[in-house]
């Protein structure tokens, strides 16, 4: 289902949005959709990370982001 949402943007953000759409050969709507998907994914990932770090802390394990990055790279 397609829904229409109206938003208000300051001039500088609208200019950036329009410029990005032209650069990507996309509509402004498409750029906003991608940005929202990335935003929600990042928030979900942060939530998973926080839960995992809390569980590890309960078990007495401390890891930094660099430790995790080193293990998955």
pLDDT in tens, 20-49: 999 999 999 999 999 999 999 999 999 988
Question: Is residue 37 domain-resident?
Answer: yes
Q: How far apart are CA 40 and CA 38, in angstroms?
A: 6
Does residue 33 form part of some domain? yes
pLDDT score of 52: 87
- Radius of gyration (C-alpha) of the chain in whole angstroms: 19
Q: State residue 43's pLDDT score.
A: 96
Q: Is 47 a domain residue?
A: yes
DSSP state of 26: -
Q: Coil, strand, or helix at residue 3? A: coil
What is the domain count for the chain?
A: 1
Q: What domain range is 16 assigned to?
A: 12-72
**Is residue 65 a part of any domain in this protein?**
yes
Band of the pLDDT at 65, cuts 50, 70, 90?
confident
pTM of the model: 0.75
- Percent of the chain at pLDDT exceeding 90: 66
Q: Give residue 73's pLDDT.
A: 79
Q: What is the dihedral of CA 5, 27, 9, 14, to 10 degrees?
A: -170
């Amino acid at each position: 289902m397609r829904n229409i949402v109206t938003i208000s943007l300051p001039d500088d953000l609208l200019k950036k949005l329009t410029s990005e759409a032209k650069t990507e050969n996309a509509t402004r709507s498409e750029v906003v959709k991608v940005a929202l998907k990335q935003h929600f994914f990042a928030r979900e990932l942060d939530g998973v990370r926080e839960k995992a770090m809390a569980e590890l802390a309960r078990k007495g394990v401390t890891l930094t982001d660099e430790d995790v990055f080193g293990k998955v790279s």
